[in-house]
Amino acid sequence: MPTMEFEGKTYEVDEEGYLMDWSLWAEGIAGEMAKQDSLELTDAHWDVIRFLREYFEKYQIAPMIKILTKELAKKYGKEKGNTKYLYELYPAGPAKQACRYAGLPKPTGCV
């Protein structure tokens, strides 16, 4: 089982680097993952991560992208409330990158 190190602790991750147990997540883990991808986390990045965590805690699944982009629109205006902006924030895709940083399992299915 692959692992990742953070502040002296070892976390189990899957083949693609998603945390095996989402409840063990700490904010610093997102920062560490971003650092490895050479990505700097801005407030907008953190808003996405926090929203994903909140939604997941409530529904045990990540929200669909549309719900996420609408949330962004509320805060940053219509021109940023779209999938394109989300991909600007997370170039590898919201599911692949944002969910991973947020410590959530990767959404799978026909998606």
Largest Cα–Cα separation, the chain: 42
* Nearest distance in Å: CB 108, another protein: 6
Tell me the C-alpha distance between 94 and 75, whole Å.
18
* Nearest distance in Å: CB 8, another protein: 26
* Nearest distance in Å: CB 90, another protein: 14
Of the candidate spans 21-29, 31-39, 40-48, 52-60, the one that interacts with another protein by CB under 8 A turns out to be 52-60
Half-sphere exposure of 97 (CA within 13 A, CB side): 21
70/80 with CB nearer another protein = 70
DSSP 24: G
Name the residues annotated as catalytic.
110
Residues near 77 by beta carbon (within 8 Å), at least 6 away in sequence = none
Contact 55, 102 (CB under 8 A): no
Residue from 60, 75, 77, 88 touching another protein (CB under 8 A): that is 60
Binding site for another protein (CB under 8 A): 14-16, 58-61, 63-67, 70, 83, 96, 107-111
